[in-house]
Structure 1
Amino acid sequence: MIIFRYLLKEVAKTQLAVFFVLMTIFISQKFVRVLGDASEGSIPGQLVMTFIALKIPDLAGFILPLSLFLGVLLAYGRIYADSEMTVLHACGVSEWYVVRVTLVLAVVTAILTGIFTLYLAPIASEYEYKVKEDLAADSGLSALVSGRFQQTGNQDAVVFIHDKDRETNSFNKVFVAQLPKGDNIDASIINSSLVYAKTGKVFENEQGSQQLVLDNGIRYHRDIKTKEFQSVAFDKYYIQIKDQQVEHQHRKLSALPSIELYNNVPPELESAYRATIQWRIAFPLTCIILIFIAVPLSVVNPRQGKFAKMLPALMLFLGYLLLLTSMRSAIEKNAIPSIIGLWPVHISAIFIGAMLLMKERSSGRIIKAKLPKFKRKSTKRAMAKELSQSKES
């Protein structure tokens, strides 16, 4: 039990450290992208952290298997480099026992990964689509940046504000250009209605339409017949900026719940649905399968150091991931039957892990030891045959 807790503690500690480091790196990259969109006015500044949080489930589902794989390599690599594993093997701790201990942590990690990929990631993706749709159908005033021109949701006006009060959601020094409708020659910007007001506010009714109410301003308009400009002072001025409620766009498969992907499969999209659900299941399976590869690859010579096999291990992980991605794309394009799915890649990975484990176990060493003897015997027979031929000649 002491050895069990020790090995489990070392791997879990290293896995958590790797997980937080990788999550910090990937979240920082997402933060830079979202912050760039916010600076361009594509999304409101107050929703930056919301978009970052919605990316966490998808990232965690991908990073958890990688962190477990690297955690096993680093933890056991250090134990081998410090000759601790040699002492444990001398005390009767076999390679298979180390695999079984690590599988306990792998099962826990697989359950957490499944929660992220099968449940939380689709919910986050669905909510992200909903927020993006609301922003796209909105007038743009919720994401309005001071000192920038923006077009309203119904494309009928351009709004510019000097200052915005976030507490009351009101605007100061508002400029609105109501664009003319039509494609004729007179439908130019000079025929638009220009409005300036000291303050303004947005009101939304139950049907989802929005109106911009301006207070204490002046409206400038050019008469098409007389070609003269007119100015009218007003106390209140109403401008329609959104006409109807948000119409939900077709959701991508990443936003569909896993149960719906499995049960409600339309015949024309069967391949895409099957590929998506198998992709979500692949990451929890990867946590368990990679243990059979990571444990034997963590065996290093104390003179080599704990990072001796890190490069080939990472190449195997990258190849495994690329094969899964390629198979998923082939299934979606009907190049591979959906009933076959991603299982050939998983089976190949299990086979590689079994070969690596057999190489380190006693049965594998016995088989390996017998091969050179057979070669030596055949070599001696060939030399004797050559000597006899030379004597006869």
Structure 2
Amino acid sequence: MIIFRYLLKEVAKTQLAVFFVLMTIFISQKFVRVLGDASEGSIPGQLVMTFIALKIPDLAGFILPLSLFLGVLLAYGRIYADSEMTVLHACGVSEWYVVRVTLVLAFITAIFTGIFTLYLAPLASEYQYKVKEELAADSGLSALVSGRFQQTGNQDAVVFIHDKDRDTNSFNKVFVAQLPKGDNVDASIINSSLVYAKNGRVFEDDTGSQQLVLGDGIRYHRDIETKEFQSVAFNKYYIQIKDQEIEHQHRKLSAISTPELYNNMPAELESAYRATIQWRIAFPLACIILIFIAVPLSVVNPRQGKFAKMLPALMLFLGYLLLLTSMRSAIEKNAIPSIVGLWPIHISALFIGMMLLMKERSSGRIIKAKLPSFKRKSNKKMTEGKES
């Protein structure tokens, strides 16, 4: 029981460290992309953390099997490099026992991975689509950013605000350029009306349409008949902005829940639906299958160091992932029957792991077989030395 807890603790501790490091790296990359979209005005600044949080389930479902694989390699590699595993083998701890101990952690990781890939990731993807639809339906006034020229939802006006109060949704020093509709760009610029107001706010009526209400300002416009510019001072000026209707975007299969994929499977998209379901199941299965590859590859010579087999192990992991991706693409294109699925890749990876494990076991038997004869010879020499 002590050995069981020791091995489990070492692998779990290393896995958590690798998981948090990889999550930090991938989330940082997503953060840079989302922050770039926010700086361009594509999304409001207050929704940056929301979009980042919606990426976490998808990333966690992919990183959990990888963190377990690297955790086993690093933890057992360190134990082998320090000759601790040699002592454990001498005490009767076999490779199969190490595999069984590691499979306990693998099953726990597979459960959490399944929760992410089968439930949380589709839910987050669907919510992300809804947020994008609401942003597309918004007229753009509530998403105005101070110090930047932005076009309204109906594409008929350009608004610039000097300062914005988020609590009251009011503006200070507002500039609005209302462009008349027309194909002639020069005529549109000349005939445009320019409005400057000291303050403004967004008003939403009972019908849901939004208006920009400006106060204490001046409107400059060009009279079409006299072709003279006129200025009109006002206390209040209303600019009607027509809200866009919510356009439901075409959902990718990643945004559809797993029960809906399984129960509502159209005949023309049956292959794509089955490929998506098997892709979501592949990551929990990979947590278990990769153990049979990681444990034998973690066996290193103390002189080599714990990173001796890290490169071939990573190559096997990447090959496994790329083959799964290629097989999924082939199923979606009907190049491979959907009934075959991703199972050939899983079975092949499991077979490679079993072969590696049997190889380590056979080499262990040879060492153990030579160990008693070596002890007898050494004891015999020591006895002869004492007699002489």
Q: TM-score, normalised by structure 1?
A: 0.89
Change (3 A) 1:265 1:208: farther
Q: Which moved more, 1:161-170 or 1:312-321?
A: 161-170
Structure 1 residue 219 displacement after superposition = 1.8
User: By how many angstroms is 1:111 displaced?
Assistant: 0.5
Are the counterparts in 1 of residues 209 and 243 from structure 2 also a CA contact under 8 Å? Answer: yes
Q: For the structure 1 residues 255 and 206, does the alpha-carbon distance in structure 2 shift closer, same or farther, using more than 3 Å as the test?
A: farther
SS at match of 2:248: coil
For the Cα contact (< 8 Å) 1:57–1:117, is it kept in 2?
Answer: yes
Quick check: 140-149 or 329-338, which moved more? Answer: 140-149
Distance in 1 between the 2:90 and 2:375 partners? 31
Q: Please give the alpha-carbon distance, in whole angstroms, between the structure 1 residues aligned to 2:383 and 2:335.
A: 61
Q: Deviations over 1:249-303 (max 9, x none)?
A: 2222111111111111122222221211111111111100100000011111111
Q: Is the 8 A contact 2:182 2:188 kept in 1?
A: no
Secondary structure of 1:365's partner? helix
Is the 1:207–1:244 contact (alpha carbons within 8 Å) kept by the matching residues of 2? no
Compute the displacement of 1:350 (Å): 0.6
CA contact (8 A) 2:198 2:216 kept: yes
Q: CA offsets, 1:302-326, max 9 Å, x none? A: 1111111000000000111111111
Tell me how far apart the structure 1 counterparts of residues 382 and 39 of structure 2 sit (CA, whole Å).
85
Instruction: Specify whether residues 91 and 50 from structure 1 end up closer, same or farther in structure 2 by C-alpha distance, changes over 3 A only.
Output: same
Tell me the residue number matched to 1:41.
Answer: 41
Shift in Å, 1:226: 2.5
State the shift of 1:354 in Å: 0.9
Shift in alpha-carbon separation, 1:77–1:386, aligned structure 2, 3 A: closer
Q: Encode CA deviations 1:118-143: one digit per residue, 9 max, x unaligned.
A: 11111111121222222222222333
* Maintained 8 Å contact 2:262/2:273: yes
Do the aligned partners of residues 387 and 163 (structure 1) sit closer, same or farther apart at CA in structure 2, a change above 3 Å counting?
A: closer
Equivalents in 1 of 2:387, 2:2: separation in Å? Answer: 70
**Structure 2 residue matching 1:361: 3-state secondary structure:** helix
Aligned to 2:144: 144
- Aligned-pair CA distance for 1:21: 0.8
Deviation string, structure 1 residues 206-234 (Cα, Å, up to 9, x no partner):
54321111112222222223222232222
2:136/2:244 contact within 8 Å kept: no
Segment of structure 1 superposing worse, 263-272 or 364-373: 364-373
| Post-superposition offset of 1:375 | 29
In structure 2, C-alpha distance between the alignment counterparts of 1:185 and 1:90, rounded to whole Å = 86
Contact 1:138/1:152 (CA < 8 Å) preserved in 2?
A: no
1:200 corresponds to which residue? 200
**Are the aligned partners of 1:289 and 1:350 in contact in 2 as well (CA < 8 Å)?**
yes
Q: Mean Cα displacement is larger for which, 7-16 or 337-346?
A: 337-346
Give how far 1:61 is off.
Answer: 0.7
Distance 1:376 1:251, change over 3 A: farther
Match of 2:272, SS? Answer: helix
Unaligned stretches of 5+ residues in structure 1:
379-384
Once the two structures are superposed, residues 231-254 of structure 1 have per-residue CA deviations (whole angstroms, 9 ceiling, x without a partner) of 222222221223344222222211
CA separation of 1:214 and 1:323: change in aligned 2, threshold 3 A:
same
Misfit runs of 4+, over 4 Å: 184-187, 363-378, 385-393
Range with greater deviation from structure 2 (257-266 or 129-138): 129-138
Q: Unaligned regions of 5+ residues in structure 2, if any? A: none
Match of 1:293 in 2: 293
Deviation at 1:204, TM superposition (A): 2.5
Whether 1:52 and 2:52 are equivalent positions in the alignment is: yes
Pair 1:187–1:208, CA change in 2 (3 A): farther
- Partner residue in 2 for 1:392: 387
* 1:311-322 → structure 2 map (5 Å cutoff): 311-322=311-322
Residues 1:344 and 2:344 are matched in the alignment: yes
Cα gap change, 1:375/1:256 in structure 2, threshold over 3 Å: closer, same or farther?
Answer: farther
RMSD across aligned positions (CA): 7.4
Superposed CA deviations along residues 318-350 of structure 1, whole A, max 9, x for unmatched, are 111111111111112221121111111111101
- Conserved? CA contact 1:160–1:176, under 8 Å: yes
Describe the superposition over 1:92-133 as per-residue Cα deviations: whole angstroms up to 9, x where unpaired.
Answer: 111111111100000000000111111111111112122222
User: Which stretch of structure 1 is more off in the superposition, 272-281 or 112-121?
Assistant: 272-281
Name the CA distance, whole Å, in 1 between partners of 2:291 and 2:387: 60
Deviation at 1:151, TM superposition (A): 0.7
Q: Distance in 2 between matches of 1:333 and 1:372?
A: 60
Report how many aligned residue pairs link the two structures: 387
The residue that corresponds to 1:120 in the other structure is: 120
Identity of aligned residues (%): 91
What TM-score does the superposition give when structure 2 sets the normalisation length?
Answer: 0.90
Give the superposition deviation at 1:392.
55
Instruction: Give the stretch that moved more between structures: 367-376 or 13-22.
Output: 367-376
1:360 Cα deviation (Å)?
Answer: 1.4
Query: Structure 1 residues 371, 251: CA separation in 2 closer, same or farther (over 3 Å shift)?
Result: farther
